[in-house]
């Protein structure tokens, strides 16, 4: 390790110049003669010099890293999004520090505060679950934040926060309307939040309600299923609750708040011999890779993840660089991808 601790000082000695001249060459200071520049660059090459990021960070106050706080990486949607954010960030020469919050308020708070003001990151892209709008505004990090996903209701006069995401209400309405158009009449919603603080779930439930209302279908509270979480097991559990209903009260269509719930639900229904889509049509949300390959393949709302990632990174870096101080609330595109789980009429 010591063998490779090449500093600007070493380079300077090798090139026969002052240490500061090496620094000047590196930072593209304009007034450096070509002769010296070449000599320094040659020495850098020969010694394999690489800047010490800790020193740069200490001197400049910038870490060259941005944080990405997501609930869980083993939820495919976040894994796919993370990949895209990392790629977008690396294209711009920065590093991403990935933080898993596990939906835990304390961890979210810690990341919003930049890990206790340790200035590990220059900015944060955050997919909040537990944090309220107030938590986010009262953050102490002092760095720019871009929120992903559901719109958190923040007062407009609080600067420093951008938002990127799709219109969850419209997307959920589209999904539900699709089920109604098959046609299905007993359309359930799986994924209301049992802990009552998931804004995402509220928005998707609102879209579901709007679609029912527009179609003149009465909302049946017994067809709105709450969940403890948004994993396959929670979907399976909801499926078992559906099966506990008297047969004539069971839904013939289900809109799930995300794809994992839908997968678990389909699995539970399948166990009892239910056929999808013949007995129950299912729509998911997120369009993870698995939705294409599952049996049956899953109709799903597909947010434009690449657009989300690209926009979030661009907005954040604009702020980090101070080139844009305005607050942005960017609504990204989505589409409904129709697959086997809603193909065909009720048998």
Partner DNA sequence: GCCGGCGTTTACCACGTGGCAGAGAAAGTT
Partner DNA sequence: AACTTTCTCTGCCACGTGGTAAACGCCGGC
Positions touching DNA (CB under 7 A) are: 5, 7-9, 17-21, 23-24, 26-27, 29-33, 35-37, 49, 51-52, 55-56, 58-60
Cβ within 8 Å of residue 332, ≥6 positions away = 164, 165, 166, 303, 304, 307, 308, 311
Q: Which does 345 bind (CB under 5 to 8 A by kind): a copy of itself, DNA, none?
A: none
Taking the least distance from each CB to a copy of itself, the nearer of 87 and 330 is 87
Taking the least distance from each CB to a copy of itself, the nearer of 263 and 332 is 263
Task: Give strand pairing partners of 138.
Answer: none
For the chain, the straight-line distance linking the first and the last C-alpha, in angstroms and rounded, comes to: 69
Gap between the Cα atoms of 139 and 122, Å rounded: 14
Of residues 246 through 285, those in contact with a copy of itself by CB under 8 A are 263-264, 266-267, 270
- State yes or no: residue 324 binds a copy of itself (CB under 8 A): no
Question: Contact with a copy of itself (CB under 8 A): which of 30, 31, 221, 293?
Answer: 293
Q: Which does 204 bind (CB under 5 to 8 A by kind): DNA, a copy of itself, none?
A: none
What mask of x and - would describe binding to a copy of itself in positions 210 to 249, judged by CB under 8 A?
---------------------xx---x-------------
Q: Which does 270 bind (CB under 5 to 8 A by kind): DNA, a copy of itself, none?
A: a copy of itself
Question: Contact with a copy of itself (CB under 8 A): which of 21, 24, 76, 193?
Answer: 76
Q: Any idea of the CA torsion for 234, 238, 244, 246, to the nearest 10 degrees?
A: -170
Taking the least distance from each CB to a copy of itself, the nearer of 21 and 89 is 89
Which positions touch a copy of itself (CB under 8 A)?
A: 1-6, 48, 50-55, 57-58, 63, 72-74, 76, 79-80, 82-83, 86, 95, 97-98, 100, 115-120, 140-143, 231-232, 236, 263-264, 266-267, 270, 289-290, 292-297
């Amino acid at each position: 390790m010591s063998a490779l601790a090449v500093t600007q000082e070493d380079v300077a000695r090798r090139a026969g110049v002052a240490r500061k001249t090496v620094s000047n060459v590196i930072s593209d200071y304009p007034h450096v003669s070509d002769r010296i520049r070449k000599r320094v660059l040659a020495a850098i090459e020969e010694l394999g010099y690489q800047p010490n990021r800790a020193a740069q960070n200490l001197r400049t106050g910038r870490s060259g890293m941005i944080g990405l706080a997501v609930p869980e990486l083993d939820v495919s949607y976040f894994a796919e999004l993370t990949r895209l954010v990392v790629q977008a960030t690396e294209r711009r020469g920065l590093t991403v520090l990935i933080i898993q919050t596990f939906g835990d308020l304390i961890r979210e708070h810690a990341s919003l505060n930049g890990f206790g003001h340790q200035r590990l990151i220059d900015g944060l892209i955050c997919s909040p679950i537990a944090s309220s709008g107030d938590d986010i505004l009262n953050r102490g990090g002092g760095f720019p934040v871009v929120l992903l996903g559901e719109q958190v209701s923040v007062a407009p006069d609080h600067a420093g926060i951008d938002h990127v995401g799709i219109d969850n209400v419209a997307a959920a309405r589209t999904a539900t309307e699709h089920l109604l158009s098959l046609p299905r009449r007993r359309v359930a919603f799986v994924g209301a939040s049992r802990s009552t603080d998931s804004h995402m779930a509220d928005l998707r439930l609102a879209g579901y309600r709007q679609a029912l209302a527009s179609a003149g279908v009465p909302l049946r509270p017994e067809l709105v299923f709450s969940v403890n979480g948004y994993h396959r097991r929670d979907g399976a559990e909801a499926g078992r609750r559906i099966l506990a209903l008297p047969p004539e009260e069971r839904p013939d269509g289900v809109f799930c708040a995300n794809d994992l719930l839908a997968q678990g639900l389909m699995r539970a229904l399948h166990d009892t011999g239910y056929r999808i889509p013949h007995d129950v049509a299912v729509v998911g949300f997120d369009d993870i890779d698995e939705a294409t390959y599952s049996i049956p393949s899953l109709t799903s709302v597909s947010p434009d993840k690449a657009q989300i990632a690209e926009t979030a990174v661009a907005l954040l870096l604009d702020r980090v660089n101070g080139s844009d101080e305005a607050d942005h609330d960017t609504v990204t595109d989505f589409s409904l991808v129709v697959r086997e789980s809603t193909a065909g009429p009720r048998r």
